[in-house]
Structures are given as C-alpha cells and as structure tokens.
Chain A
C-alpha cells in the first residue's frame, strides 16, 4: 500500500494527497493506493499539482495500516508525518488530532 506525499511550496510543510485531490497536512487523511493502478493515479494527480507549483518533492511512499491508521514503513516518513522525535512540542504531533507515534 502506498500514499503520495510532498512538501507544500509556500512553506515547505509536509503534505499528503487526500481522496478529494487536495493536499492534507495530516497523513491520517491521505488517500491509500492499494494497487499499482491506484498508485499511478495518485502519482499523476501529484505530478499535475507539482506542475501547478502547489508542491515540490512529490513521492509515493510505502505504508502499513496499523490499528486502522496509516503508518509509513520508513522511519524517515514516520518522522515527516509527526515531527522531530526530540521535540514533541513541534510539528504535526504537537497539533490536536494529528499525533502519530513515530
């Protein structure tokens, strides 16, 4: 399973592509691709958005579903989804309802 991630151009915020084709700043709201076709669809939408200069660094990342929640396989992506592990007061983990254990 994969989700599509990027950084927002204007402020660099890590974002994920949601089902309504908007970029969401919490990974929980990301649209999950369960096969290669779905992943390609996400990538195409992301590419269009990159060309429209909404985001940069667009990437598909591998995830698992753990207790119904999206958990990236790589630590790097888990940290992007939460914030610096040494600063729980910063990044997405510090915002209500967005906490994801890295």
Chain B
C-alpha cells in the first residue's frame, strides 16, 4: 500500500494548519461566507440540510485497518457513530461541526488521509476497480497508475480551476467494475501483443443531467505517455470547455458539441508537443510506485478447498454468502470477499463505527491489512485465504455484515437524497430500504440485478446506469420517481431509458416489482439475467405492464 513520502506529509500537514486558520478566521467573522465557501469546499466541507458534511477521499478505494479505525474513531467522537460510503469511493460524515473540522483533518492526516480535492472544479479523487491487485482477470494492478495520477493532479497549478469538476477512473481488467465509460476520463490498463503495458483511453463520459458514454480516444496508449496524454486532454478541456453555463461545462459536453473526432485530433496535436518531454514516465518511476502496491506474500493454503466444502455442508448461510460475496482471486488458495453494506432494509453505504472496527480487525487478522471501498457502496477484503473464509464469515455475521447479496436486487446503490442532501429533490434512502425489504425473499430467484437510486438529476446514485434506475424529482412540493430501464455501468455500457411517467412515493416500489415480474415471466431461463432479457425484449412489454397497453402503443 502507498505510504506518504515527506512531500505528501508536509503538503497535507500544511493544509491542515492552513484550513485550521481559515476556520478560525471564519468563526471570528474575519472571513465572510462568500470568501470562506470556496475554501471549505476545497477541503471537502459542505453544508447540508441538518449540518455540515465532511467528504473524505479514499484514494482508489484502498485503506488499511489503522485508517478504518481512525474513521470509526472520528464517527464516534465528532459525529453520530456512523459514516456513509459513497459511489465515489469517499466516506461522508453527516454531522460534524465546523469548529471541529480542523481537529478531524488533523486526525486524518495522522493516518495519511485528507479531504483535499473532494470538491471544487479540479481533478477529483481518482477511483479504481475495487478488486484491483486481487482479481484473476486483470492485466495489471491499476492502483500504481491511480497513485501517479493522484500525485500529478494534487494541487496541479494549471488544472485547479477547470470549467467544472473532473473525474478519472482506472481499471486493470477488461470486465469493467469501475464504470470507466461514465467518467470524464476512463482508463483501462491492458497489454498489447508485444506484452507491453498501456491504456485504452476513454474520454467524455458522465452522468448528471446529460448522461453520455465516453468515446475511445486511444486503444493503446503506452504507459510512459500517460501523464503527457492526460495533460493534453486536460489542456484542451481547460481552454475550450464552456465556462458560461455550469450545466454545459463538463468535458462530455465539449466532446459532444465539438465532435469526438475533432476533440481527439486536438488532443493528439497537443500530445505531439508534450510527448517525450518532462511528462514522460520513466520505467524506474513507475516501478518505484508499483513497489508500494506489491502484492502481499501469499502463503500456500491448499487445505482451503476441503475446509470450505465442509463448512458449506454445515451452514447454509455460509454457503449462500460464499456463492454471492466471494470472488475468484488470482492466487488459487485465496479469495476476494465483498462485505455487503446493504443488510435487508438498511441504508446503502452506511456503516457504524463498530462495524468499521470489526472490518479493520478482520482485515488485520485475515486480510493482509487491506480494505477496499467499492463504488457500489460495499467494502471488500481483497486478499484472504480460502481456508479462513469460515472464520471471516463468522466475524462478519457477529458485526451484522454477512448479508449474502452482492450483485443481487437488494445490493442497491442509493445517494443520501433528501434525508441529508441540500441539492436533493426527493428521498432515495427510504425507497432503497422499502425495495430491499420487499425484494429480499425472492432476490435469489431474480438473480443479478442492479438497482440504483438518485435523489436528483446530479445522479450521485448512478440511476442512469442501473439495470433499473430510479430518479427522484420534486413535483408540486411532493416527491415523484422516474423509472429507467436497461442502463449498464460495465463494458457493455448503456444509459437507461425512461419508460413513462413517474410514480409517487407509495407507487415506486410496486412499479419496480412490476418490472421484475415482467422479467421473470419472460426470461428464457433463470440463467438469462434481467439486463440480458431487457436487451432482448426491449421496453415494450415492460411499458405495457407498467402503464397498460394504450401507453405502450403511444
């Protein structure tokens, strides 16, 4: 795992002191709110409905036990005993007081964490595949490159005042678990025929009020050119992105208004001038960062298979959990564990301080001290021995974290919505809780299904790319929910279609159940997933069931 060097440490420590001073000057009245707002946002401090909110970056979703315990400690000491993991691999505290922010940031700095660039029109926390470094299907661990990008983009003088925020996601696998086609830049690490490492580069994707799938700018960019090419893209965007209209300021709009071919041509022209210059990444520099991410020394534990087989016979709960929440690891005696933060009827992404501590303990005992946060609002133990799975399951069960639902209908993404968020139009959490309770009993029969809910068009809950997406809007002072079907975040990226008029708060869960019933009635076999069936069937039969045949014909 990456450890701060002296530069990182000084930079973060200086920021803590600087922000502490700014908070003091705000509280004394020396700074007005207009002066202070951009400063607090630069440090991840928002004002929400009930209180301030602090958004903490978890770079590429990786943290260790000590860091997780620190988050638990902050939750207990400065908040109401819980935190919310988000689709951006961040952690949000919902109740901290402004006066306590400097102390919280100092605590975070003590474990090499911060809230820098979690807001503002800069390059945000770089996200990565949550199975990075562990997945059997990856070409290489994407996190060293994410770390290189973090260093390059932190307080980047040229790119600190972009037309709008800028999000980068990296994956090392062809199977996209990081939704890279829905980021301003998405990078897929791959090998070419010569066995060299490079990236497929996607640009101009995004969600929000104008969802767009990124276009591929390069099929193979050699790794040494990474920073030069990123700089070229950012430079074109910084100069030409629209600053006149906040809703048209993202790079996706520039790409779609100017045309992908023309933007790529300009990027390539810029890149020609930059390449082989100071931004070229020497192999030695890459190797130095890679060394921080060297896989742990995996000890052969061949007894695991028999042990797990016996445990499955003894405990059906374990067996179900193994089937859903355990993923193949690149080392045969090991496995990846997804820790569901989606217990039936629970708030997606919320974890109590006790649960954070429990996960930290398990990571330390069984998981080489590594924890991941997924953009699907779950936690992951990326490196555990198969032989330890029964013990891990037991530990998770005690902590209320053993729900066997990864990838199922109750593994719902939901943003904070109107229960917390100042920008929200409707609640998202209660809709998720209601759906979770209704669907729990039959989710095994329904199979793989991604339901995603946002409380406003900003789409933090990824509704556009849910197989079933739900968007909350405000209508006549009340809540209304728009249903979209057929979205997909992975390598077969798709934006969900709005199937018809919205549903009231009491109707929306029923409408989702109706859509699921249509799928169950029409699927060719239990092996045909919801999204596959939807692609085969199209929207019509769903629309008919939801609105009647007259609406479907319209």
B478 is an interface residue with CB less than 8 A from chain A: yes
Q: Is the CB of B98 within 8 A of A9?
A: yes
Q: Is the CB of B51 within 8 A of A12?
A: yes
Within 1-57 of A, Cβ neighbours of B (below 8 Å) are at: 7, 9-14, 50, 52-53, 56-57
Shortest CB-to-CB span from A54 to chain B, Å, is 9
Q: Is the CB of B29 within 8 A of A84?
A: no
Shortest CB-to-CB span from B311 to chain A, Å, is 35
Q: Is the CB of B50 within 8 A of A83?
A: yes
Shortest CB-to-CB span from B40 to chain A, Å, is 11
Q: Which residue of A lies closest to B347 (CB)?
A: A86
Q: Which residue of B lies closest to A87 (CB)?
A: B419
Q: Is the CB of A57 within 8 A of B50?
A: no
Quick one: given A9-B27, A76-B424, A84-B420, are A14 and B49 in contact (CB under 8 Å)? yes
Q: Is the CB of B418 within 8 A of A9?
A: no
Q: Residues of B contacting A14 with CB < 8 Å?
A: 49-50
Q: Is the CB of A7 within 8 A of B47?
A: yes
Interface majority SS on A: helix, strand, loop or mixed? Answer: loop
Q: Is the CB of A53 within 8 A of B29?
A: yes
Q: Residues of B contacting A73 with CB < 8 Å?
A: 477
Q: Residues of B contacting A79 with CB < 8 Å?
A: 49, 418-419, 427
B447 is an interface residue with CB less than 8 A from chain A: no
Q: Is the CB of B26 within 8 A of A9?
A: yes
Shortest CB-to-CB span from A82 to chain B, Å, is 9
Q: Is the CB of A75 within 8 A of B52?
A: no
Q: Is the CB of A84 within 8 A of B27?
A: no
Q: Is the CB of B430 within 8 A of A11?
A: no
Q: Is the CB of A10 within 8 A of B418?
A: no
The docked-state distance in angstroms from the alpha carbon of A53 to that of B30 is: 9
Question: Which of A9, A10, A50, A84 contacts B50 (CB under 8 A)?
Answer: A84
Quick one: given A10-B99, A12-B97, A85-B430, are A75 and B418 in contact (CB under 8 Å)? yes
The docked-state distance in angstroms from the alpha carbon of A7 to that of B52 is: 9
Q: Is the CB of A85 within 8 A of B47?
A: no
A69 is an interface residue with CB less than 8 A from chain B: no
Question: Which of B47, B80, B419 contacts A56 (CB under 8 A)?
Answer: B47
Quick one: given A53-B29, A75-B418, are A12 and B47 in contact (CB under 8 Å)? yes
Q: Is the CB of B477 within 8 A of A11?
A: no
Q: Is the CB of A11 within 8 A of B99?
A: yes
Q: Is the CB of B477 within 8 A of A75?
A: yes
Q: Which residue of B lies closest to A89 (CB)?
A: B80
Q: Which residue of B lies closest to A57 (CB)?
A: B47
B429 is an interface residue with CB less than 8 A from chain A: yes
A95 is an interface residue with CB less than 8 A from chain B: no
Q: Residues of A contacting B424 with CB < 8 Å?
A: 76
Q: Is the CB of B429 within 8 A of A13?
A: no
Within 509-541 of B, Cβ neighbours of A (below 8 Å) are at: none
The docked-state distance in angstroms from the alpha carbon of A53 to that of B35 is: 12
Q: Is the CB of B347 within 8 A of A11?
A: no
Q: Which residue of B lies closest to A83 (CB)?
A: B50
Q: Residues of B contacting A13 with CB < 8 Å?
A: 50-51
Q: Residues of A contacting B80 with CB < 8 Å?
A: 90
Interface readout for B427-439 with A: 1 if CB under 8 Å, 0 if not? 1011001000000
Q: Residues of A contacting B276 with CB < 8 Å?
A: none
Q: Residues of B contacting A75 with CB < 8 Å?
A: 418, 426, 474, 477-479
Q: Residues of B contacting A86 with CB < 8 Å?
A: 347, 419, 427, 429-430, 433
Q: Residues of A contacting B427 with CB < 8 Å?
A: 79, 85-86
Q: Residues of A contacting B52 with CB < 8 Å?
A: 11-12
Q: Residues of B contacting A83 with CB < 8 Å?
A: 50
Q: Which residue of A lies closest to B425 (CB)?
A: A76
Q: Which residue of A lies closest to B427 (CB)?
A: A85
Q: Residues of A contacting B426 with CB < 8 Å?
A: 75
Question: Which of A11, A52, A74, A90 contacts B98 (CB under 8 A)?
Answer: A11
The docked-state distance in angstroms from the alpha carbon of A57 to that of B423 is: 13
The docked-state distance in angstroms from the alpha carbon of A86 to that of B48 is: 16
Q: Residues of B contacting A84 with CB < 8 Å?
A: 50, 419-420, 429
Shortest CB-to-CB span from A92 to chain B, Å, is 8
Q: Is the CB of B97 within 8 A of A10?
A: yes
Interface readout for B457-501 with A: 1 if CB under 8 Å, 0 if not? 000000000000000001001110000000000000000000000
B240 is an interface residue with CB less than 8 A from chain A: no
Within 54-102 of A, Cβ neighbours of B (below 8 Å) are at: 56-57, 73-76, 79-80, 83-87, 90-91
B261 is an interface residue with CB less than 8 A from chain A: no
Quick one: given A10-B27, A12-B52, A14-B50, are A76 and B99 in contact (CB under 8 Å)? no
Shortest CB-to-CB span from A102 to chain B, Å, is 9
Within 2-59 of B, Cβ neighbours of A (below 8 Å) are at: 26-27, 29, 32-33, 47-52
Q: Residues of A contacting B48 with CB < 8 Å?
A: 12
The docked-state distance in angstroms from the alpha carbon of A28 to that of B479 is: 24
Q: Is the CB of B98 within 8 A of A10?
A: yes
Q: Which residue of B lies closest to A50 (CB)?
A: B33
Q: Which residue numbers of A lie inside 8 Å of B, CB to CB?
A: 7, 9-14, 50, 52-53, 56-57, 73-76, 79-80, 83-87, 90-91
Pull 15 A–B residue pairs with CB atoms less than 8 Å apart, ordered by A: A7-B47, A9-B26, A12-B50, A12-B97, A14-B49, A52-B29, A53-B26, A53-B27, A75-B474, A75-B477, A80-B50, A85-B419, A85-B427, A85-B429, A90-B95
Given contacts A10-B97, A11-B51, 8 further A-B contacts (CB under 8 A): A7-B47, A9-B26, A11-B99, A12-B47, A14-B50, A50-B33, A75-B418, A85-B429
**Cβ-closest 8 pairs across A and B:** A11-B97, A84-B419, A12-B51, A12-B52, A53-B29, A86-B429, A80-B49, A56-B33
